[in-house]
Chains A and B, each alone.
Chain A
Amino acid sequence: MGGPVIGGTVIGGTVIGGTVIGGTVIKIANSQFWVHDQDEALKFYTKTLGWEVRADVIVEAWHFRWLVVAPRGSDVGLVLMPVPGPPMLDADSSGALSELVAKGAGGTLFLETNDCRGSYEDLSARGVVFNDPPTTQPYGIDTSFRDPSGNNIRLTQVLPFDLSRASS
């Protein structure tokens, strides 16, 4: 239907990996961050981080925009959902959630890279502000930054475990 599909979303495909429970297989499809502004988040994840848009659809009748991004080839997508207001959350709770996300309490996404220092240089040049420069750990090298809403993103290069590789 409609020509070749390369690098697109797999629909109805075979699930590879995942937990097998009583004959069914379960794996993570998407994870989710609350964001303050979907346009701002879209720009950050695609233009700054270079990720792909997996879905961006507005359902007018529901005042809802389904926005999913992911690094190229990733099995798991990241849904960027606006902090809900009334009636889903009352105004006080909605405001509190917005503030908590801004303070970094919204959660963390853990990314892996093959070269932490290289990613740090590249992404810094593209405008990402890191919390710390890359530091060595017994498990590898890692660093972290935050998205425009305040969500934490940890970036780790995994190396063979070595306790003598002291934290720096």
Chain B
Amino acid sequence: MDSRYFEDLSVSGMARVAGLSKAHFSREFCKAYGEAPHQYLLTRRLERAAALLRTTDWPVATICSSVGLASVGSFSTSFRRVYGLSPTGYRASWPPAAQFVRIPLCVARAYSRPQNRTFREDGARGAT
């Protein structure tokens, strides 16, 4: 569940893989992990979504579907319940992702150097 949270997982599907009935699977899962499987999965998805809100510039809808949730509406509701802010409000409470993720500026600038520089030293070297 931890590594496949972004897939279309269902509790009955997971129970089937574990070879247990849905009710039995949920009971055993609760006993082992302290929360119901659907709650565990939702928590994992919301944690990932929060990380993506901080570290990417993806639209909220993209983040929602990339963590395996289908409805942006219910994603926003669940997110607010856990984090106390809407997804966009949460993102706004952090520094802009471009600063937060520490992009090495020398690298970024190397990509964006102007292509046709017309400094005099170019002419001094002659046509090459």
Contact = CB atoms under 8 A, between A and B. Distances in A.
Contacts of B58: 56
Contact of A88 (B90, B94, B98, B111): B111
Interface string B79-116: 00011110000100110011011110001111111110
Contact of A46 (B6, B50, B108): B6
Contact of B113 (A2, A3, A4, A88): A88
Interface string A18-33: 0000000000000000
A47 B48 CA distance: 14
B4 A57 contact: no
Nearest to A63: B112
Contacts of B83: 2-4
A47 B111 contact: no
Nearest to A84: B111
- Which range contains the number of B residues in contact with the other chain? 35 or more
B48 A2 contact: no
A68 interface: yes
Interface stretch (A7-15, A99-107, A130-138): A7-15
Contacts of B2: 72
Q: Could you say which interface size class chain A belongs to?
A: 20 to 34
A53 B112 contact: no
Contact of A84 (B4, B98, B100, B110): B110
A7 to B, nearest CB: 5
A3 B108 contact: no
B111 A3 contact: no
Interface of B: 2-4, 6, 47-48, 50-52, 54-58, 66, 82-85, 90, 93-94, 97-98, 100-103, 107-115, 117
Q: Top 10 nearest A-B pairs by Cβ distance?
A: A62-B112, A55-B101, A2-B93, A3-B83, A56-B56, A50-B3, A66-B103, A64-B108, A8-B51, A62-B108
